Amino acid sequence: MRSSADRLLLSLKMRGAQETRALAGQLGVSRQAALMGLERLAAEGLVTHADQRRGVGRPRRLWSLSEAGHGRFPDTHAQLTVEVLEAVREEFGEAGIDRLIARRERAAEAIYAEALAPADGLEDRIARLAELRAAEGYMAEWRRVGAGWLLIENHCPICVAATACQGFCRAELALFRAALGPDVEIERTDHILAGARRCAYRITARGVDGSISIR
């Protein structure tokens, strides 16, 4: 079972900046207990806060993860991966990096295609894709939003590698399009490497005539 500190950190990672009362509700504890936990995490440098004033009255205090707090969620084999990428680039140039990423993408496409094959409709495919990404460490979730869906990745376990070689991000988008099929439009709306706290993708179904529809 996770400690209350771990649950606070996880909630801030998954949901972004929040007020003390909202965090207390999620943990099922009193506001004072949540505040004490947040203050301890702040003293450790894992969370920070900002006060926002809206009209009259006391300002809202929003808690969020610090850079150190984000660092509590691992970047898988980060240093080793970057060293391998640098070695491949030195030996084979950018073309070698592109071949490496393409090979990784083909392998992932095969795995995803098999996992999504039994899915019943687009929403089920999105749900299964989110499960796959969550199992890979992306802390993925999905939800229905208006006339479409949102696939959210609250963590990037290869962030350091993706920073060193953004071809990984381009391949990820191509992978999702291959997994969900040609009748789907996917747009990246949030990107960790662009400074967002998460990566998010808006997904819509495309009609036979090219228009956007919902199934």
Tens of pLDDT, residue by residue over 17-37, are: 889 999 999 888 999 999 999
Name residue 122's amino acid: L
CATH number for region 4-70? 1.10.10.10
Tens of pLDDT, residue by residue over 93-112, are: 888 888 888 888 888 899 99
78-213 placed in CATH 1.10.8: no
DSSP E strands: which ranges in the chain? 18-19, 47-52, 60-65, 140-145, 148-153, 184-190, 199-206, 212-213
Tens of pLDDT, residue by residue over 123-162, are: 999 999 999 999 888 999 999 999 899 999 998 887 866 7
How does residue 167 score in pLDDT terms, banded at 50, 70 and 90? confident
Alpha-carbon distance of 75 to 8, in angstroms, equals 20
How does residue 75 score in pLDDT terms, banded at 50, 70 and 90? low
| Model confidence, pTM | 0.70
Higher pLDDT pick, 192 / 92: 192
> What per-residue confidence (pLDDT) applies to 213?
41
How does residue 10 score in pLDDT terms, banded at 50, 70 and 90? confident
Outline which parts of the chain fall under CATH 3.30.1380.
Answer: 78-213
Outline which parts of the chain fall under CATH 1.10.10.10.
Answer: 4-70
How does residue 60 score in pLDDT terms, banded at 50, 70 and 90? confident
